[in-house]
Amino acid sequence: MTKIIRTSLVAGLMLTGANAAASNASLEAKLNTLEQELATVKKQLKSQKKKLNKVKAHDANDNLKWGVDLRTAVDHLSYDMADSSTRDNNALMSLRLWLNMAYAPDSHNIFKGQLSMNKAFGADFGTVNGDYRAFSMGSLFDWTGNEALSDNTLKVKEAYWLYLGDNLFGTDIPWTFSVGRRPSVGGFLANFREDDAAKSPLGHNINVEFDGLSSMVKLENVTGVSGMSFKVCIGRGSTNATPLFSDATSYAEDNGLDSVDLVGFIFVPYDDGQFVVKTNWFKAFNLPGATMDQNMTITGFQEEGDMQGAAISVLVDGITEDGYFSDVKAFASFAWSQTQPDAGNAMLGSTDDESGTSYWLGALLPVVEDGVLGVEYNHGSKYWRSFTYGEDTMIGSKLAARGDAYEAYFTYKINKALSAQIRYTRIDYDYTGSNGFFGNTTGNAMKIDDVKRGAAAYDAGYITPETTMAKNMLPNIVESAQDLRFYIRYRF
C-alpha cells in the first residue's frame, strides 16, 4: 500500500511540474503578445498626439480670429443757433458694426484689422461722385441697400501689421514696428467714455483715422523708470494724386492740394499702472481750408499752411490703495496747438501764427456693482485746434470745442457679452469754427457775441459789408449743442 501511495505521489508531482511548465510558457507567450500590442498602441498614440499638436498649433496661430462688436443706439439731438432758432432730432437711431480680426503666426508677428459699418436706421448717407446715392442704392430710403446692384465698397477701419522685437540692436530694449491703417481713434483718456481699451494716440488732440507707420522702444529696462517708452509716428491724411483714368497721367501728382502729412512722437515718462503720464507732439503739413460762395456753400478746398500741437495727459487709476477710492479713476490733460499759415493765407481767421490751448478733466466712479459713472469737462480757447474729427458724438467733437463742454455717462455691464450706456453731452461755444477745417472760412475763430452784435446792427439799419456778413452767418452758427444717447452693445 505504501509503495502504491509513493508511486502515485511521484506521478502527481511529475504531472504538476509538467503543467506548471506549460502554464509558464503560455503566460510568457501572452505577455509577449501584450507587449507587442502595447508598443503598437504607444506608436499610434504618439502619431495621434503629433497630429493633435498640429491641429492645436493651427487653431492657435494659423487662422484668422474674428470678434463681433454690435452697438444699437438712439440719440436725442438739439442745437441752439445764434439767431435764437433751434434744430433737433428727437430719435436718431443708428447701428454700428465692428468685425474685429487678429492673426499671429508666431510670437513676433501680428496682424490686426477692423471692418466697420456705421449707419442710420433705414438710410444710407453715402455719396457717389459727390452726390447722394440714388434711391435704388439706399440713399434716404434703405429698403434695397443690400439687394440692389451697387458697388464694391467695404469700409476698413483698421488694418495693420505689428512686429514685436525683444532686443533692439542687441540691447535689452524691447521694440515694435507697425505699418498700415493704424488704431488711432479712441486713444488715451478718450477711451473711457467709449468703454473701450485705449488705442495708440492721446485722445485730447489726435482722434482721427489715418494711414501710416509707428515704431516704439520700451526704455524701462535701461532707465529703471516704470513704463517709460518713446514712439515715433508718421502718417498721411490725404494723397496728392490724380485718380485712375482721370487724365492721361494716372496717379501723377495733382496740381491742387499737396498731400497732407503728419509726423510726431508719443513719450511716456512714467507708467506703473496706477499713475500714468503720457505726452505727445506732432506737426501736420499742407492742411486744407474750405472755400465758400456767398450763400455759405462749400465750393472746394485750398492749401492753407501747417500746424503743430502737443499734449500732456495724466491718469490716476486708483486714488487710494484700498477702499472705495481704490477703484476710482481721475484724469487731467492739457493740450496746445499753433497754426503756421503759408504766406498770403489765413488759418482760423488770422494770417499770423496763432496758439490755442485746451484743458480736460474727468473721473470714473463705481456707483453699483458692474456700473460706472463718468463725468468730464473740457474747455478750449479761441484758436484751439485739434484733430478729433473721429470723436463719437452726433453733435461733433466735444474735445475740439472753443468754449465749454460737459459730459456725464453711466455704463452698465449686463452680462459677459452685453452692456448698456446712457450719456449726456452739452457743448457751449464761445467762438465759431470748432468743427471746421483749417482755413479762413469754416474754421474761422470769431467770437459769437461779436457776430450777434453785428447782425443786430444790420437789423437796426447800420448796413455795412461786415454787418451784412454777420447777418448772413447767424442762422448757421451753433451756439449750444446737446446729445442724449442710449445704447445697447454686444461684444464677443
pLDDT at 15: 46
Cβ–Cβ under 8 Å, residues 162 and 178: yes
State the pTM of this model: 0.84
Fold classification of 66-491 (topology level): Porin (2.40.160)
What is the distance between the alpha carbons of residues 402 and 411, in angstroms, rounded to a whole number?
A: 28
Identify the CA nearest to 216 among candidates 200, 240, 238. 200
Identify the CA nearest to 383 among candidates 352, 341, 354, 405. 354
Cβ–Cβ under 8 Å, residues 86 and 106: no
Identify the CA nearest to 329 among candidates 275, 368, 365. 365
pLDDT at 447: 97
In this structure, what are the phi and psi dihedrals at residue 346, rounded to the nearest 5 degrees?
-125, 140
What is the distance between the alpha carbons of residues 240 and 234, in angstroms, rounded to a whole number?
A: 17
**Cα-atom radius of gyration of the chain, to the nearest Å?**
34
Q: If you search the block for the grid coordinates 493740450, which residue do you land on?
A: 335
Residues 6+ apart with CB under 8 A from 467: 454, 455, 457, 458
Domain boundaries, the chain: 20-63, 66-491
Cβ–Cβ under 8 Å, residues 367 and 458: no
Q: If you search the block for the grid coordinates 514712439, which residue do you land on?
A: 231
* 139 residue type, one letter: S
**Burial profile 4-25: b = 16 or more Cβ within 10 angstroms, e = fewer:** eeeeeeeeeeeeeeeeeeeeee
One digit per residue, the tens of pLDDT, for the chain of length 492 reads 444 444 444 444 444 454 555 566 777 777 777 777 777 776 677 667 666 655 555 555 567 899 999 999 999 999 999 999 999 999 999 999 999 999 999 999 999 999 999 999 988 777 666 666 665 555 666 666 677 766 677 789 999 999 999 999 889 999 999 999 999 999 999 999 999 999 989 999 999 988 999 999 999 999 999 999 999 999 998 888 988 888 889 999 887 788 999 999 999 999 999 999 999 999 999 999 888 877 667 788 889 999 999 999 999 999 999 999 999 999 999 999 999 999 989 999 999 999 999 999 999 999 999 999 999 999 999 999 999 988 989 999 999 999 999 999 999 999 999 999 999 999 999 999 999 889 888 899 999 999 999 999 999 999 999 999 999 999 999 999 999 999 999 999
Identify the CA nearest to 188 among candidates 332, 394, 375, 297. 332
Cβ atoms within 10 Å of 272's Cβ, excluding its own? 11
pLDDT at 298: 79
Burial of 340 per CB tally in 10 Å (0-12, 13-18, 19+): middle
